[in-house]
Chain A
Amino acid sequence: MNDETQKELMAFMEGELTGLRANRLAMRLQSERGLREAWESQYRVSFLLQNDRNGVQLASADFADRVAWAIMSEPSILAPQTGRRRGVSWSFWMKAGSVAAVLVVSVTLVGVFPNNIASDQSVARGGSGHYATTAMLRGFSSRSDEFHLRPVAGFTPRSSGADVLIQRDIQRLWVPGGGNYLAPSQIFTAYDSGQAGLESAGYTPAAGISAASMAFPAGNP
C-alpha cells in the first residue's frame, strides 16, 4: 500500500475524508481485500492498545465473515424506511405538483403571449410525429425574464418520474401551430411513444384532457 493510500485510509477512518473522495475510498474498501484487511487491522490494534488491561475479548478472526454470511440471506436495504413510509404521499404530491406547475406556467403564457407560437407554425405543419418532447426556451421575447414553451427535438426524457409527467402535461396543453389549447373534440397523437416520447392524449368537452395512463387529469382548459 502506498503512502497516499495509507493517508487516505487514515483520513477516512477519522471521518476527515468527504464527498467523492470518501465514497471512492469506501468503494475501494468494499472491493479490495488488502485494503479491507488493513482497515480491520488498524481498528484491532487500536482496540487492543486502548483495552489490553481491561480483560476484554477480541473477536475471532472469522467473526466478520460469519456475520457477512448471515447478512447474505437478508434482503438488501434499498432506502430508509422513512422514505418508503412517505412514498405514497410523496408520489402523489410530486404528480399533483407537476400538474399544478404546468397549469400555472400555461396560464401565464396565455396571458402574456397569446400569439407566442407563430414562429413554430412551420414546425407544426410538418407533422407532429417527430417532436419527441418539449422544453422551456428563453430568448423569444425582448424581455429576458419571459419565456414560453415549445416542442424541441433530439431530447430523450427519462422514462419515469416527474419529467415524463410534466412533459406529458405540457403536451396536453401545447397545440403546435394553433391556439394555446386544443379545439374541442380534437384528438392528437403528437408523440411517438415508441421513441420514449410523450403519450398520446385526447380532449373532449365531456371528459376534458385524457390519456390511457393519466392518473391525475389536468382538467378542462
Chain B
Amino acid sequence: MGKIMGRSTAGGQEHGAPSDLLLVQRVQKGEKGAFDLLVRKYQHKVISLVGRFVRTPEEAEDVAQEAFVKAYRALANFRGDSAFYTWLYRIAVNTAKNHLVAQGRQVSIVDAETEDAEQFASADGLREYDTPEGLLLSKELAEHIDTALAALPEDLRTAVTLREFEGLSYDEIAQVMECPVGTVRSRIFRARESIAKVLAPLLEQEKS
C-alpha cells in the first residue's frame, strides 16, 4: 500500500458513548480521576475546536482548559440527554466565544451555532494562527503517518484504515476481515502503537 492521499476520514464520529457516560457517572460520585480520563480522550478535539476561534496555540490551550474546568463544574447537571462529547463541544464553543467577547474581539471565524459544534470540530479549514511553520509541520506529519501506515503489516494496516478512515465499527471490520472481533481490537491497538512510535520524534520536535 502506498501513500494514502486524499483519503476520507471518520473525523466527525465519536465512539464509546456508553463508556463516556460511565465515566461521567463516576465523576458524579466524586471520582475526579474519571474526569481526567475524559480530558485525555477529548483534549485534542477540544483544543482544535477552540483553536478555530483564537489566535495562538497557547491561547487555544488556555481557553480549552477553562472549558474543561467549566465542564467539570457543570457535570452535576449532566443527565445524559445528549452525548457527552456534544455537550462538551458546546461548552468549548461558548467558552471560546465568551473569551473573544472579553478580549473585545469579534468572532472572526464562522459564527457557528453551538448545535453545530460537533461538525465544526471536524471541519476542514485554516486556523487563525496558521503559520508557514505550522503548515510545514502538518505536511511533514502527514508524510510520517503515511510512512508509518505503509510500514505496517497488511492485516494491521487494513484494520486501522477501515477504522480511522472509513469509520467502521469493530464488528463491521471483523466481518470485512473475516476474523473475530477480539482480533480486530488487538490489530487496531497494535497498529496505533506502531504509528505512535514512528510519530514520537516528530511530536517531540514540535513540542521543543
Contact = CB atoms under 8 A, between A and B. Distances in A.
Instruction: Tell me whether chain A's interface is mostly helix, strand or loop, or mixed.
Output: helix
A63 B65 contact: yes
A72 B36 CA distance: 11
Contact of A46 (B18, B78, B164): B164
A55 B51 CA distance: 10
B44 A55 contact: no
A6 B127 contact: no
Interface in A196-220: none
B55 interface: no
Overall SS of chain B's interface: helix
B17 A55 contact: no
B48 interface: yes
A77 B127 contact: no
Given A10-B189, A57-B127, A80-B76, A36 B40 contact: yes
Contacts of A112: none
Interface in B156-208: 160, 164-165, 169-170, 182, 185-186, 188-190, 192-193, 195-196, 199, 203, 206-207
A26 B41 CA distance: 13
A17 interface: yes
Nearest to A31: B33
B88 interface: no
B32 interface: yes
A42 interface: yes
Given A52-B138, A70-B65, A71-B72, A76 B192 contact: no
Interface stretch (B7-15, B91-99, B111-119): B7-15
Contacts of A82: 77, 79
A45 B34 contact: no
B9 A49 contact: yes
B155 interface: no
A55 B22 contact: no
Contacts of B126: 55
Interface string A49-68: 11111111111110110111
B89 interface: no
B16 A15 contact: yes
A14 interface: yes
A36 B37 contact: yes
A59 B35 contact: no
B44 A47 contact: yes
B36 A30 contact: yes
Contacts of B61: 59-60, 63
A81 B76 contact: yes
Contacts of B32: 68, 71-72, 74, 76
Given A42-B192, A50-B164, A71-B68, 6 more contacts: A14-B169, A23-B26, A38-B193, A41-B192, A67-B36, A77-B72
